[in-house]
Amino acid sequence: MAFSYRVSLQVRHPYADPQRIIKGIGLPFVRSWAAGERRATPKGTLLPGAYTESDCAFDIGEGDDGELAHCLRRTMKQIEASAAFIAELRQTGGTLNFFITWTPGERGEVFDVNLLTNLARLGIDLGIEPLASN
């Protein structure tokens, strides 16, 4: 069995309007909140305090096909048009991160130099969290 994965793009910024981030990135988003907004659970139950930064999470995809690098390459092509917007976010204190949960299978994955170069050029970090296989 190939490994399985789930990928999201997380964008954080000290003060940017989440709707502007969503529009600027141009991918389907899962959740967002604004700096200064009252904290809440995903179901809407209010929590103490306020968010200290704006946050948007975009659902990139998932699979059990072992094609994670392909998924990342496809997404990089989609957001290439947003390069100037991403640069502006980073210059004003924002961070971007592909967050990957990975359940190991019979093989690993290679992130070739072209993919890594494109991630670095756009300033997108890569986080991988392995999960226990069943």
Identify the burial level of 58 via C-beta atoms within 10 angstroms of its C-beta, where 0-12 means exposed, 13-18 middle and 19 or more buried. buried
Check residue 79 and give its pLDDT. Answer: 94
Q: Which residue has the higher pLDDT, 93 or 133?
A: 93
Question: Structure pTM?
Answer: 0.90
Provide the greatest CA pair distance for the chain: 45
CA–CA distance, 115 with 129 (Å, rounded to integer): 19
Q: pLDDT at residue 1 above 80?
A: no
CA–CA distance, 127 with 134 (Å, rounded to integer): 22
Taking the domains of the chain in order of start, what are their residue ranges?
Answer: 4-52+65-92+104-128
- Bridge partners of residue 61, in order along the sequence: 7
- 24-67 pLDDT per residue, tens: 999 999 999 999 999 998 888 999 999 999 999 999 999 888 88
